[in-house]
Structure 1
Amino acid sequence: MQTKSASNPLKSRPEPSRRFSVAPMMDWTDRHCRFFLRLLSANALLYTEMVTTGALLNGDAARFLRHDDTEHPLALQLGGSVPADLAACARMAQDVGYDEVNLNVGCPSDRVQNNMIGACLMGHPALVADCVKAMRDAVSIPVTVKHRIGINGRDSYAELCDFVGQVRDAGCRSFTVHARIAILEGLSPKENRDIPPLRYDVAAQLKADFPDLEIILNGGIKTMAECQAHLRTFDGVMLGREAYHNPYLLATVDQELFGSTAPVISRAEALARLRPYIARHLEDGGAMHHITRHILGLGQGFPGARKFRQLLSVDIHKSKDPLGLLDQAGQLLEGR
């Protein structure tokens, strides 16, 4: 666990590369998931789940901010709209060693809308600019924004440019663009990830019109070939659901996108490296499924993959020897 604080000066790290990142995903990109993903790629930028300012200021901040040193480069995504609260939370993030703070301006759920969090903030660009300025004044680590290309009722390209322009003028230099609008009434968060059409052309026009800004593309990207194609237009790509459901995709990121000459890690080796982490978690009183639920996607595309998933999703709840079961699952990955 990361234990650095304001009284323990941080070693300065270079600004993280956003050439390839894994999206913040609620209930998915927790610290166990991130530890596992880091085994597959040394260079991918990882994001936490969205954490609200209220959770940090009024709840168990240490639990929400907890992470392992090996997770770096690592960004904390915040949800909120009160500049002073966001500034205070950004300081917390910097004090415990996060490499970036990202403001969520993309989540479409009713629950966060009611608290002026997420995509609804696209209708309030001046407020987002105030939030970014407050955070930037509070910390030296980068402050970035993840947003949609619009919301219903404010989905013209001119309005998108107005939003980006105002936030840029507040000092933000890096924007991650989920290339869909968000429909804030009538669609669930899940439907908002699928039903509004992807508009890569709009994101590309934004990059053309704001060439001085770092524009990261998010939404619907599934393969390394697609990543490489988009990187001809954009400064980076962010993968969400595909990176979670098919995590072994990350195993070639360092070689294909960052020029690494290190050998590609095998599925079996990734699981073997994860085993000591799982053992420590069990010793601390945790349950193995807290971690193994994140690695089921390793079981894809080979004989025995279904059995691998069954062992770690169903049988695990009945086993009195969870590490033995893990080893049994690992045997199915041999040579993979």
Structure 2
Amino acid sequence: MSAAGKSGIIFMGTPEFAVPCLKMLISEGRARDLVITRPDSPKGRGYSLCPPPVKQYAVSKGLSVCQPDKIRTSEFTEIVKNLAPDFIITVAFGRILPPCILDIPRLGCINVHASLLPRHRGANPIVSCLACGDEVTGVTTMLMDEGMDTGDVLMTDEMRLDRDIDFDRLHDILAQKSAELLKQTMNRISGMNSREEIKRIAKPQPAEGATLTFPVRKEDARINWDQPASRIHDLVRGFCGCQSAWCMTSRGLMKIWKTRELKPGDEQPGPGVWEKMRPGQVARADDRGLLIRCGTGWLLAEEIQFASSKKMKTGDYLRGHPAKEDLFLGNEAK
């Protein structure tokens, strides 16, 4: 144990999602040894190097920061060994720790993951849970092993998802939940003096229900209008925090940032409209958005973006670029 009875901790994390956990550890007097994060990366049109959010926050609090290009080196292993930490805590670090690092902390390595494991193991759990239309998600603290998010579970915090929550909102909610759950986890294992003692309160992940997150690639975000409106809405919700869902139109590629499913009681197209239209065609284009026929159901596109415009409300775009009947050709557009 470090001074004042607090565990010596090395924190590893990179994006904004990890900052609330680091903030909590600092406020609890636990994160004093070292913060490890990814190297600065080029951002913006000028591709100037920008520090990761975790580095920015750590530096603002006077913490030492290490940004190794590689973590599977003898030099990096020695840095960690020399600190003799009780714990390594990782939150969205973006790298799998090798055994030579996992074996160093006296009490083990703890990871905070933004899903209810074993569902959505991997790098993109928030995108995946929304794009899959999950009704429930949450956060998990686990003891790390050599696998990808396969270690024994310490604690979980579950939440139900409404149909309108999108990536940005869920990201912020789960980031705060992660900090709260990590605090509860650290309090629960406080006073334990061996890896074996901590492992006794952890539970192995069940084999049933295990899934991997899918890669966030451009083609994965392409809309297939033959699918149900609910499925396309889920895709838009999941990808709106990164590259956005998209489709081809006669005006080129169109990104869709926000959609709404038509519910009973909403104004519907008139009788016979459905039968006359193909999936992907627009039944109505006005200040409310583009009302698009899907394989089943109607979807209202409320925020869109073309290459010639910035992201904006659909009504604002239409005022400068009036829609024509043959504008949107759905899956047949090139």
Please state which structure has a larger fraction of its residues in helix.
Answer: 1
TM-score by length of 1: 0.29
Larger gyration radius, structure 1 or structure 2: 2
